Structure 1
Amino acid sequence: MNLLDSWQLWALLSAAFAALTAIFAKIGVEHVNSDFATFIRTVVILCALAAFLFATDQWKPLGSISGRTYFFLLLSGLATGASWVCYFRALKLGNAGQVAPVDKLSVVLVAVFGTLFLAERLSPRNWIGVGFIAVGAVLVAHKS
């Protein structure tokens, strides 16, 4: 199996970049409104992703995508935007080392929502892990 085809590699890279996001964002929102900082970040992401799509010849004609796909990508985009606004506001107000773990409670919520809405099944061992993530996030976020 090619390493670049490994979901585990991409998930670890995602976690590493998410960690850097928290650190860079915390520094970036220090002297600017958090909503404006989110806007700047979004423009950067849009430009970088467009360049990546063109460079790798992955751009698709917009008419080739179904209405259902557009609808759920729209919902996902709105949820992402809301998440980013809330995340940057939390970073503006709190410590990155406490905000990021609470944000990662999304892992717990994905497990619950995946079970409820996507009929995904987790084993008891998986649920124990989800519980540990929840407890760990609370312990890290709790200011001693």
Structure 2
Amino acid sequence: MSEPSAFAPVNELTLVARLSLALFAGAVVGAEREAKNKSAGLRTHILVSFGAAVFVLIPIQLGAAQQNPDILGRAISGIIGGVSFIGAGTILRSSRVHGLTSAAAIWVSSGLGTAMGCGLWLLGLTGALVALIVLRILAKLE
């Protein structure tokens, strides 16, 4: 008997857990940005992280990722491209470059959601902790 694929559809409880963890990871980063009164705050980061998880869970739940793992890679590439537009909009709100950290935080939130959606919860939670440390502690050193 063969082992189940890492890309096999998951049960409802696992699905809800992955989406909840994506929401939590986005909230960790977003709450820090919100505390600093940044325009890309709590809701933005939650939605980016949650949306990324949804977009990787779609091919997983349809069984398409199990049949062709490249489909999951294409979904992740689409997330990266889409989030890049959000980041560019965050940076180019005026005639000067502003908001690089907010754009980077949005990009990280998409990565955290992608990790959670793929079931890599330890990677996602560790990433959220590292992002919080970078945004909170390293900001004081700058």
- Asked which structure has the greater RCO (Cα within 8 Å, sep 6+), the reply is 2
Question: TM-score scaled by structure 1?
Answer: 0.38
Question: TM-score scaled by structure 2?
Answer: 0.38
The structure with the largest alpha-carbon Rg is 1
